[in-house]
Amino acid sequence: MIVIEHQPKRVDVTVYAEFTLADYKEFEAAVNDAIRFEGPVDLLFDLREMADFTLDVAWEDIVFARAHANDFSRIAVLTDSQWVAWSAWLSQIFVRAEMRIFADEAEARAWLAEDGEAAEEPE
């Protein structure tokens, strides 16, 4: 199961239980809409409650990341799993966004907010 929330210039995604291809397609549609209307966006991906993912999700993630290499500014991944952190790091090969792995949600949100505040400062 997946829950998606839109924020200004950001998409928040939380995955519960098994991450399926149908869930991933829902994520892709939400991100594509955000990118179409807002340009490059930040992504908060909360995988702390994810129990598993299907092989087709892993493949779709690679295809999606390659197609959207320049469409993300920052990606924060919330996880307690070293395996998921390693997988997220591997996905970074295909995306030019700055990516960080967090165990603490408040730290992840603060890091994403830093970028937004810096972009709003006058030159």
**Residue-wise pLDDT tens digits, 74-96:** 999 898 877 666 566 556 656 78
Helices marked H in the chain — which ranges? 21-38, 55-67, 82-91, 105-120
* CATH superfamily, with its number, for domain 2-117: SpoIIaa-like domains (3.40.50.10600)
Instruction: Delimit the domains of the chain by residue range.
Output: 2-117
Confidence of residue 57 (pLDDT cuts 50, 70, 90): confident
If you average pLDDT over residues 8-19, what whole number do you get?
Answer: 93
Cα–Cα dist 23/70, whole Å: 22
The total of other beta-carbon atoms located within 10 Å of residue 102's CB is 21
Position of tokens 């919330």?
Answer: 78
If you average pLDDT over residues 41-65, what whole number do you get?
Answer: 87
106-119 residue pLDDT tens: 999 999 998 555 44
Q: Provide the mean pLDDT of the chain.
A: 84
